[in-house]
């Protein structure tokens, strides 16, 4: 079994994340020794979205300096490492290969095991990095730029997908809607900030797929509703904020309704929220309020561990390595990979 700290590497999209974590089952968060993040947002902003080739090249530039910085922050040397974990998918193939190659090379040179981690398992386990972590069984709402899923977690590694998106993911819906109202990339956080200045009640959009049973999502129709409202309006700053608010209300309401359903269906008493959209303040507040009312407890990662980061990959990898799992020394990534 692995004894030393595990180095975690995340390069699936436009953030280079690195962390060091020593696995301790009782309080995983206390085992986090250091973490660093470099965001490529500025690099891609001019293009209105992530440019895969630029992302790969920037990971190449930033990854090793970040590894050095993280080791220094923890007061460790490479020789102290017990293993290396990296995101093996899903994500951009070239970007994933940068992390996978670096991780494999380091592990091989140091003679320690390496393990490829599923990015969404990383997100799903991120709430365990906080004090008073949730015990399985629980239901997880995974809402990021690429995924909107409800997952029943019977234990670490035991996942059942309860619901998935049929089209756009929640974060994708935020980003696309922001773009069509002229907000700069990345639109999700900008749209959410704008919603804070909106007047309630001026616009109302539908809560997709809540009028029939089931736990799947569909968010692409909301985009069209927003487009029509925006094009038919005076397109003033206030109107943009009012539409942003109505859009955010529609997404958050829909997510809350489906979470309640999932908890009812499974009988779980704990709800874990993870992924970039988990950083949304309205979503956090409404889910916490629903929990107070219905008697379930909500668990959120801190904001910086909602979006992509190395700590969640170090954690997911450290758990698997502690259970004796690792893989042969081949560099292999899975751009599309089911949880
Ligand atoms: O998990 P993440 O960092 O990357 C993926 O794995 O996709 O999630 C990024 C997504 C983006 O779509 C972004 O717009 C969204 O999370 N996001 C937000 C907020 N912060 C990030 N969406 C709504 N409100 C926010 N505050
Ligand atoms: Zn992510």
pLDDT score for 328: 76
pLDDT tens-digit series, residues 106-119: 999 999 999 999 99
Known binding-site positions for substrate:
142-146, 175, 188, 280
Q: β-strand 158-163 against 148-155: which pairing, if any? A: antiparallel
pLDDT score for 136: 94
Task: Supply the DSSP symbol for 185.
Answer: S
Mean pLDDT of the chain: 95
Residue with tokens 């969640």: 312
pLDDT score for 1: 67
Which atom number of ligand 1 is nearest to the Cα of residue 279? 26
pLDDT at 133 over 90: yes
pLDDT tens-digit series, residues 166-179: 999 999 999 999 99
pLDDT score for 282: 98
Percentage of residues in the chain having pLDDT higher than 90: 91
Q: Cα of 78 to ligand 1 centre, how many Å? A: 32
Mean pLDDT along residues 132-157: 95
Which atom number of ligand 1 is nearest to the Cα of residue 192? 24
Fold of 6-126+306-322: Nucleotidyltransferase; domain 5 (3.30.420)
Q: Cα of 306 to ligand 1 centre, how many Å? A: 8
Which atom number of ligand 1 is nearest to the Cα of residue 281? 26
The closest ligand to the CA of 145 turns out to be: 1
- How confident is residue 332, by pLDDT bands cut at 50, 70 and 90? confident
pLDDT score for 233: 97
User: Quick count: other Cβ atoms within 10 Å of Cβ 336?
Assistant: 8
pLDDT score for 186: 84
Under 8 Å between Cβ of 66 and 102? no
Q: Cα of 321 to ligand 2 centre, how many Å? A: 21
pLDDT at 77 over 90: yes
The domain over range 135-300 is classified in CATH as 3.40.50.620: no
Mean pLDDT along residues 292-300: 97
Ligand 1-lining residues (CB < 6 angstroms): 13, 144-146, 171-172, 174-175, 186, 188-189, 192, 275-277, 279-280, 307-308
pLDDT score for 237: 97
User: d(Cα 334, Cα 93) in Å, to the nearest integer?
Assistant: 7
Under 8 Å between Cβ of 299 and 164? no
C-alpha pair distances (Å), 106 with each of 4, 109, 152, 223, 297: 15, 5, 35, 44, 40
pLDDT score for 49: 87
Which atom number of ligand 1 is nearest to the Cα of residue 307? 3
SS (H, E, C) 235-292: CCHHHHHHHHHHHHHHHHHHHHHHHHHHHHHHCCCEEEEECHHHHCHHHHHHHHHHHH
The closest ligand to the CA of 15 turns out to be: 1
Q: What is the ipTM of this complex?
A: 0.98
Q: Cα of 301 to ligand 1 centre, how many Å? A: 13
Mean pLDDT along residues 57-84: 98
User: Quick count: other Cβ atoms within 10 Å of Cβ 74?
Assistant: 19
- How confident is residue 331, by pLDDT bands cut at 50, 70 and 90? confident
What residue ranges in the chain does DSSP mark as E strands?
A: 6-10, 15-21, 32-39, 83-89, 114-118, 138-143, 148-155, 158-163, 270-274, 297-299
pLDDT tens-digit series, residues 227-264: 999 999 999 999 999 999 999 999 999 999 999 999 99
pLDDT tens-digit series, residues 200-218: 999 999 999 999 999 999 9
Residue spans in the chain of domains classed CATH 3.30.420.40: 6-126+306-322, 135-300
């Amino acid at each position: 079994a692995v004894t030393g700290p595990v180095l975690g590497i995340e390069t699936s999209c436009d953030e280079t994340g690195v962390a060091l974590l020593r696995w301790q089952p009782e309080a995983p968060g206390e085992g986090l020794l250091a973490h660093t993040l470099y965001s490529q947002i500025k690099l891609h902003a001019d293009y209105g979205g992530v440019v895969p080739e630029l992302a790969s090249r920037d990971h190449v530039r930033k990854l090793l300096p970040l590894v050095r910085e993280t080791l220094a922050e923890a007061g460790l040397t490479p020789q102290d490492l017990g293993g290396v974990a990296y995101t093996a998918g899903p994500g951009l193939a070239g970007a994933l290969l940068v992390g996978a190659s670096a991780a494999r090379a380091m592990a091989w040179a140091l003679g320690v095991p390496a393990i490829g981690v599923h990015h969404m398992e990383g997100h799903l386990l991120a709430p365990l990095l906080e004090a008073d972590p949730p015990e399985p069984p629980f239901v997880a709402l995974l809402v990021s730029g690429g995924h909107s899923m409800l997952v029943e977690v019977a234990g670490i590694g035991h996942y059942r997908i309860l619901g998935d998106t049929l089209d756009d993911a929640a974060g994708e819906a935020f980003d696309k809607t922001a773009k069509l109202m002229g907000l700069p990339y990345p639109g999700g956080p900008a749209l959410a900030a704008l919603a804070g200045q909106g007047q309630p009640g001026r616009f109302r959009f539908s809560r997709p797929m809540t009028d029939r049973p089931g736990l799947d999502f569909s968010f692409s129709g909301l985009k069209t509703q927003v487009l029509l409202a925006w094009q038919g309006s005076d397109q003033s700053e206030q109107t943009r904020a009012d539409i942003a608010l109505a859009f955010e209300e529609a997404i958050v309401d829909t997510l809350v309704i489906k979470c309640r359903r999932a908890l009812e269906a499974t009988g779980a008493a704990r709800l874990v929220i993870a992924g970039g959209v988990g950083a949304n303040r309205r979503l956090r507040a409404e889910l916490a309020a629903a929990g107070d009312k219905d008697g379930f407890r909500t668990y959120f990662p801190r904001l910086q561990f909602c979006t992509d980061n190395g700590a969640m990959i170090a954690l997911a990898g450290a758990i698997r390595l502690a259970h004796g799992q690792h893989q042969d020394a081949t560099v292999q990534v899975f751009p599309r990979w089911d949880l």
